[in-house]
Chain A
Amino acid sequence: MKATSRNVNGVDIIKLDGKITIGAGDQQLREVIGSACNEGKNKILLDMSGVTTIDSSGIGELVGSYTTVTNRGGKLKLLHLPAKLNELLHVTQLITVFEVYENEQEAVSSF
Chain B
Amino acid sequence: MNARFVERHGKFAKCRRRRNKRFPRAVWFGVTGSARFFRGYPKQEIRGFRLEHQANRVFLDKYKIRTPSDFVRLPDILISQAGFYRVDWNALARYIGRHLRHPDAILRMARRRSRILTQLLTFLRCISIANPERFLRPLPINEVIYAALREWAEVWRKTRRRDERR
Q: Do A and B come from one complex?
A: no
Question: Taking beta carbons and an 8 Å cutoff, which residues of B are in contact with A?
Answer: none
